[in-house]
């Protein structure tokens, strides 16, 4: 016979069960709290790791800026544009971080991957010196916007431009940065950045080919600058020989390696142009004009290159309106030619001829005389350009568009630096953080980073 449970024993069992349930709930709560804090700490660890990677990338960029300064100090002497083969510019290690120098393809290829190197500011049009009839021929630019640029930098504003509706007034002073174009009346992102939203010089997979031509239309940002300044003196501070004012002995000394007979002949020809018997002399307008004159006198391009770096036609301490024909893209060259009253078809053809000549004769670009070799002495483009002083083969300002990642490919950063070497020592004129524009290193760099960090 089974005896009934005693009330006290039954109550004790219920009490034990209640304690067990409470303990289980407590354990569950503790486990939940532990998991919550573990998850939080995981996020904190990842955030700390990302911050550490970001700091490493920042330091890599600072190191890269110093590296670029050294490169310019060693290779950008006397206006020479450093060749990207002379220094490292892709996935350069700095500790556990790496940096890249995002450049522009000098051959104007249609690659989907960025070109790495420095960007020559001398191959662009200067916003503060170029006239309306040049700006208006750049791609995607209207004549109205070209005039608005002139109005923004001019001392007298055009009343019809309603800046009050935009909440500010026209600057009526020189441009200080290229990004200042965003404030000019009528500016649009399509006009300024074109299809190159992240400004890396290629049409990335996430960027839309608006006109469907399979090529990148980079917009105005890629063709203009505010930094070009060419010193009109030797690196040691001594004066160049001004062929418009030099005396007989100075002119003859330029050609002394050609022999006495030849130097006398050239001096006579130059003097007859500057001081003819009828008293109506004509100064040389620029270096191309002087080069064309010398070649018409039978001087070879090699002989002219031997004196080119020592002559000038100007008295200014610095010259700001020239474009480096050795690095300017076809759009800039075409706009310059059309601005000199050359018809569009001839201008486009001449620009492409110069770009092709550069690619095929990279070792023969030592002086402005190569433009005459490429186009011919009687080219209408050469004749038109000889009336001014718009071209050079020297550059003294360069962009270092530096992108970097920290350990494991994290902490992406990007900063653009403008360097100036016109006074002999590289100086940083401007820096701008471009990290907000997103990834600009292309898919190959991304795939390489992923592959290296998963091995």
73-82: average pLDDT: 92
- Do 308 and 302 contact (CB within 8 A), yes or no? no
- Do 50 and 411 contact (CB within 8 A), yes or no? yes
Q: How many Å apart are CA 368 and CA 394, to the nearest integer?
A: 10
Give me the phi and psi of 92, to 5 degrees please.
-80, 120
175-182: average pLDDT: 95
Mean of pLDDT over the chain: 89
Two structure tokens written together for 141: 């630019």
Q: How many Å apart are CA 34 and CA 28, to the nearest integer?
A: 10
Q: What is the pLDDT of residues 22-34, one digit of tens each?
A: 888 888 888 888 8
Three-state DSSP class for 226? Answer: coil
How many separate helices (H) and strands (E) can be counted in the chain? 13, 14
266-289: average pLDDT: 89
Q: What is the pLDDT of residues 188-199, one digit of tens each?
A: 988 998 888 899
CA-based max dimension of the chain = 151
* Helix, strand and coil in the chain, % to nearest 5: 45, 10, 40
- By C-alpha distance, which of 314, 320, 311, 306 is closest to 234? 311
Against a cut of 0.85, is the pTM above it?
yes
| pLDDT of 65 above 80 | yes
Q: What is the pLDDT of residues 4-61, one digit of tens each?
A: 555 656 566 666 677 778 888 888 888 888 888 777 777 777 777 778 888 999 999 9
311-339: average pLDDT: 93
The band of 440, judged by pLDDT with boundaries at 50, 70 and 90, is: very high
**What does the pLDDT read at residue 72?**
96
**What does the pLDDT read at residue 6?**
57
**What does the pLDDT read at residue 374?**
96
Strand-pair partners of 419: 398, 428
The band of 277, judged by pLDDT with boundaries at 50, 70 and 90, is: confident
67: number of CA atoms within 13 Å, CB side?
A: 23
Contacts of 353 by beta carbon, 8 Å cutoff, 6+ apart: 374, 375
**What does the pLDDT read at residue 115?**
93
The band of 399, judged by pLDDT with boundaries at 50, 70 and 90, is: very high
Three-state DSSP class for 209? Answer: coil
More confident residue, 195 or 371: 371
User: According to the 3-state scheme, what is the secondary structure of 111-161?
Assistant: CCCCCECCEEHHHCEECCCCCHHHHCCCCCCCHHHHHHHHHHHCCCCCCCC
The band of 281, judged by pLDDT with boundaries at 50, 70 and 90, is: confident
More confident residue, 214 or 385: 385
| pLDDT of 379 above 90 | yes
Q: How many Å apart are CA 127 and CA 315, to the nearest integer?
A: 22
Three-state DSSP class for 437? Answer: helix
363-384: average pLDDT: 94
- Do 291 and 312 contact (CB within 8 A), yes or no? no
96-122: average pLDDT: 90
431-454: average pLDDT: 87
Cα 327–Cα 329–Cα 331 angle in degrees, nearest 5: 155
| pLDDT of 296 above 70 | yes
Of the ranges 40-54, 136-150, 319-333, the best mean pLDDT one: 319-333
**What does the pLDDT read at residue 36?**
80
Q: What is the pLDDT of residues 215-261, one digit of tens each?
A: 788 889 999 999 999 999 988 889 999 999 999 999 999 998 888 89
Give me the phi and psi of 396, to 5 degrees please.
-130, 0
More confident residue, 109 or 162: 162
| pLDDT of 323 above 80 | yes
Q: How many Å apart are CA 185 and CA 165, to the nearest integer?
A: 10
| pLDDT of 98 above 90 | yes
Two structure tokens written together for 363: 């070792």
- By C-alpha distance, which of 127, 103, 143, 101 is closest to 403? 101
Q: Which residue has the tokens 């992240």?
A: 198
Q: What DSSP line would sit under 329-345, residue for residue?
A: -HHHHHHHHHHTT--HH
**What does the pLDDT read at residue 177?**
95
| pLDDT of 267 above 80 | yes
């Amino acid at each position: 016979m089974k005896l009934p449970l005693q009330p006290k024993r039954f109550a004790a069992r219920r009490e034990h069960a209640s304690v067990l349930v409470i303990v289980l709930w407590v354990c569950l709560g503790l486990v939940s709290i532990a998991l919550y804090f573990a998850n939080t700490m995981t996020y904190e660890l990842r955030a700390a790791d990302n911050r550490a990677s970001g700091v490493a990338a920042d330091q890599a960029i600072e190191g890269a800026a110093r590296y670029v300064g050294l490169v310019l100090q060693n290779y950008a002497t006397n206006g020479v544009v450093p060749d990207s083969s002379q220094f490292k510019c892709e996935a350069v290690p700095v500790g556990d971080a790496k940096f890249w120098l995002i450049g522009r393809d000098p051959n104007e290829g249609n690659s989907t991957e960025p070109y790495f190197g420095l960007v020559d500011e001398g191959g662009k049009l200067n916003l503060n010196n170029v006239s309306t009839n040049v700006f208006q021929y750049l791609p995607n630019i209207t004549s109205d916007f070209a005039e608005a640029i002139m109005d923004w930098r001019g001392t007298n504003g055009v009343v019809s431009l309603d800046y009050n509706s935009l909440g500010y007034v026209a600057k009526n002073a020189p441009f200080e940065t290229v990004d200042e174009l965003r404030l000019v009346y009528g500016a649009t992102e399509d006009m300024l950045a074109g299809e190159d939203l992240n400004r890396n010089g290629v049409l990335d997979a996430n960027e839309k080919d608006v006109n469907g031509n399979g090529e990148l239309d980079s917009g105005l940002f890629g063709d203009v600058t505010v930094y070009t300044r060419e010193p009109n003196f030797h690196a040691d501070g001594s004066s160049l020989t001004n062929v418009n004012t030099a005396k007989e002995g100075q002119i003859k000394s330029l050609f002394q390696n050609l022999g006495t007979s030849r130097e006398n002949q050239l001096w006579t020809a130059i003097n007859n142009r500057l001081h003819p018997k009828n008293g109506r002399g004509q100064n040389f307008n620029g270096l191309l004009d002087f080069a064309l004159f010398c070649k018409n006198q039978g001087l070879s391009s090699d002989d002219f290159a031997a004196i080119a770096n020592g002559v000038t036609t100007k008295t200014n301490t610095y010259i700001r309106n020239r474009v480096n024909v050795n690095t300017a893209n076809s759009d800039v060259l075409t706009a310059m030619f059309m601005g000199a009253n050359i018809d569009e078809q001839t201008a486009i053809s001449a620009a492409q001829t110069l770009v092709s000549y550069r690619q095929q004769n990279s070792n023969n670009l030592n002086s402005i005389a190569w433009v005459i070799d490429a186009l011919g002495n009687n080219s209408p483009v050469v004749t038109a350009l000889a009336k001014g002083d718009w071209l050079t083969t020297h550059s003294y300002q360069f962009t270092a568009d530096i992108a970097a990642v920290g350990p494991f490919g994290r902490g992406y950063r990007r900063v653009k630096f403008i360097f100036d070497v016109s006074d002999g020592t590289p100086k940083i004129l401007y820096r701008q953080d471009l990290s907000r524009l997103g990834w600009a290193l292309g898919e190959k760099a991304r795939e390489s980073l992923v592959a290296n960090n998963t091995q």
